Structure 1
Amino acid sequence: MNITVYLGSRCGNRSCYADYAYALGSWIARHGHTLVYGGSRTGLMGELADGALQAGGQVIGVEPQFFMDEELQHEGLTKLIVTPDMTSRKQQMMDLGDIFLAFPGGIGTLEEISQVMSQVKLHQMKGRFAFLDFDGYYQPMKALLQQMSDEGFVDKDWADAVPFLPSFAALTAFVLGRDLPKSGETWRHFKNHMYRILDLADDAETGETYVVYKTLYGEYRDFIRPLEMFLSEVDHDKYPDVRQKWRFEKTAGLCSWNPAISSQYLKK
């Protein structure tokens, strides 16, 4: 799947945005998607691309010629597409994408995601969009959409349905088109034991989503990953019947796995 990300060419005033951008690139690569972005090496754009590339992912950059003239392009991309101007750049990024994400950024970011929102709403293009609302950055946008709805300029159902994703856990659910389990729900673990979920969070180092649950023996956490991704990492020569022997939670294409228990199944 191609994920088009719009974000700032500056890093912003807080270092957390650069950390989030790098982690987002890594998340896209680790989940087997291709990153599509504006092609630059500067600001959050460079952090995003570096995160994806260093995790072994595919990155397509789309850069207008006048940015190329200023030598702003990232040199290590999988593919760099050069367009004559900004208008054709935006169209190319929309043509390439399956999912469109607005990361924190400035006027250009707002312009790009607004065009996507408008065309999707008018059924002029396929795909889904969301705002990556890290640290509440896009809460003013959410309030503005609600104001538009209250004043009768957009339908309330449409405004309420615009996704604002505060975490990689929420992003995982959005990309897969489902809701992740929630705190307080039960979670089926090994040997069909049911445990109560205490929390849902993201691993700080990898960005992988995990559930926290409690048993009589203590508190544990299981990572949640797309089932096919997990199975692609299994050593099938050693464990050809892993689908029968491996007791995982499977719901709409997700599975849970505990690294401490499952490492014997994985390729070395």
Structure 2
Amino acid sequence: MKIAVFCGSSSGENPAFVEATRALGHYLAGQGVDLVYGGGNVGLMGVIADSFLEKGAKVYGVIPEYLKERELAHQGLTELSIVADMHERKASMANMADAFVALPGGAGTLEEIFEAWTWAQLGHHAKPCAFYNINGFYNLLMEMVLNMVHSGFLKPHHAEMLIHTDNAETLLSSIRSYQAPRQKWT
């Protein structure tokens, strides 16, 4: 199984983000999971890649040419693909991955996981989307998702398709047992 992880190119202010990211990577790699991620060697991106590599897992990076230098492309990966732009990066990662997980990050992290989730709602794929909620990072976002449901902009079963947990074992078991809901327009 290959899991795509979206996360920050910085480490954040709280050391818990780095510690939990490293622990998650070690756990998933120990369970036979390989990593697909943005290809960077900085921030949580570098931490997640290194944690998988430390446990002997395969790590596949995908980075746009123009970010290769800015995000300091990781040179120790199983495979590093250089692509033209962010659209190609996301499409390549989506094709390679069996599931998508967002760790703490900024606007780019949210954009990537929301696009994967939207594709799932539309039936473009039937892969699980998850938020790994380190230190309650995504609590307010999950409240916003519920607000979308209560306001009539999101079907409850599309909100329920999101996995959100701060426990590595629960994350992986939820990914493995995931059943996609019916498509948005059916």
What TM-score does the superposition give when structure 2 sets the normalisation length? 0.91
How many angstroms apart in 2 are the aligned matches of 1:108 and 1:71?
A: 13
CA distance, structure 1, for counterparts of residue 84 and residue 41 of structure 2: 19
CA distance in 2, matches of 1:138, 1:71: 24
Q: How far did residue 148 of structure 1 move?
A: 0.6
CA contact (8 A) 1:39 1:45 kept: yes
Tell me what 2:41 maps to. 41
Would the alpha carbon gap of residues 149 and 70 (structure 1) be closer, same or farther in structure 2, given more than 3 Å must change? Answer: closer
Which secondary structure does the structure 2 equivalent of 1:50 belong to?
Answer: helix
Distance 1:107 1:71 in 2: 15
> What's the secondary structure of 1:123's corresponding residue?
coil
Whether 1:96 aligns to 2:81 is no
Aligned match of 1:190:
none
Give the aligned length.
Answer: 178
| Gaps in structure 1 of 5+ consecutive residues | 179-268
Give distance in 2, aligned partners of 1:133 and 1:70: 27
Q: TM-score, normalised by structure 1?
A: 0.64
Aligned partners of 1:86, 1:57: CA distance in 2, in Å? 25
**Residue 163 (structure 2) pairs with residue 163 (structure 1):** yes
Aligned counterpart, 2:184: none
Q: State the SS of the aligned residue for 1:163.
A: strand
Name the counterpart of 2:118.
Answer: 118
Q: Deviations over 1:191-222 (max 9, x none)?
A: xxxxxxxxxxxxxxxxxxxxxxxxxxxxxxxx
User: What do the CA deviations read for 1:85-122 (whole angstroms, capped 9, x no partner)?
Assistant: 11111111111110100111100000000000100000
Alignment of 1:182-193 (within 5 A): none
* SS at 1:74 equivalent: coil
Match of 1:87 in 2: 87
Residue 14 of structure 1: how far off its partner (Å): 0.6
Larger strand fraction of residues: 1
C-alpha displacement at 1:72, in angstroms? 0.8
The letter of the residue matching 1:4 is A
Higher relative contact order (CA 8 A, sep 6+): 2
Kindly state the Cα deviation for residue 173 of structure 1 after the two structures are TM-superposed: 1.9
> 2:154 aligns to what SS in structure 1?
coil
C-alpha distance in 2, partners of 1:129/1:95? Answer: 14
Unaligned runs of 5+ in 2: 179-186
The answer to whether the 8 Å contact 1:10/1:43 transfers is: yes
